[in-house]
């Protein structure tokens, strides 16, 4: 068992897919663009909200209405990020158990900083640190190691005894770039086959496997 757990957020701790899809499609509707299915949104997520919208908007950032649509998405999502979002089964119990065992915990996400911190405060008050997208402060988004480095710094711990837990290829790459082992969860947004193709080696099917 590890002493420090660095968690991804979307698809790992929280099922955020429906709220993200709702906000994407709201923004697209407001600007006269075609909407996407939930499966489309599942494929689009994982690299931050700007890239999510670049994938959702026809012609991406080259679309003259892209910035307006992106701004509409951000505003709507900040107001509706808790509409349907919930922790996956077993996550709350696992967080409690890790806390009881004296483990350090942090969340690192490519989600907007404000949304990341709001969601972690609301659902996981036992998690000590939450780092979201903040490239303006010189913290590059995943798969760069910056969010992990910052999380470890704020926790006051080193890499020894630390593990990264995520659900995507971006998470596998982030762990590698950070010099941490990676545990890939199989209840999130990506399949086992997809993760294997992107270098994942260690898998769990239920959160309790983190401490069993």
Residues acting as catalytic residues: 8
Q: Which helix (H) or strand (E) holds 19?
A: helix 17-30
Q: Which two tokens stand for residue 43?
A: 């494929």
Kindly give, in sequence order, each residue whose CB lies less than 8 Å from that of residue 60, ignoring residues fewer than 6 positions away.
Answer: 54, 66
Secondary structure class of 204 (helix, strand, coil): strand
Contacts with 129 (C-beta within 8 Å, 6 or more apart), sequence order: 105, 106, 107, 151, 154, 155
CA distance linking residue 31 with residue 29, whole number of Å: 5
Give the separation between CA 57 and CA 44, rounded to whole angstroms: 11
Gyration radius from the chain CA atoms: 17
- What is the Cα–Cα distance from 53 to 47, expressed in whole angstroms? 10
């Amino acid at each position: 068992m590890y002493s420090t757990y660095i968690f991804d957020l979307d698809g790992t701790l929280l099922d955020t897919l429906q709220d993200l899809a709702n906000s994407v499609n709201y923004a697209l509707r407001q600007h006269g663009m075609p909407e996407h299915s939930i499966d489309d949104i599942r494929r689009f997520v994982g690299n931050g909200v700007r890239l999510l919208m670049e994938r959702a908007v026809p012609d991406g950032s080259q679309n003259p209405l892209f910035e307006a649509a992106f701004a509409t998405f951000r505003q709507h999502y900040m107001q509706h990020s808790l509409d349907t979002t919930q922790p996956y089964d077993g996550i709350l119990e696992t967080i409690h158990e890790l806390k009881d065992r004296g483990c350090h915990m942090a969340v690192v996400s490519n989600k907007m900083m404000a949304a990341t911190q709001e969601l972690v405060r609301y659902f996981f008050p036992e998690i000590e640190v939450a780092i979201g997208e903040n490239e303006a402060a010189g913290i590059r988004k995943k798969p760069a190691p910056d969010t992990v480095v910052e999380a470890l710094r704020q926790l006051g711990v080193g890499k020894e005894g630390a593990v990264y837990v995520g659900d995507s290829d971006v998470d596998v790459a982030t762990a590698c770039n950070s010099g941490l082992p990676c545990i890939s969860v199989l209840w999130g947004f990506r399949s086992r086959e997809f993760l294997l193709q992107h270098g994942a080696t260690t898998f769990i099917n239920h959160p309790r496997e983190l401490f069993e």
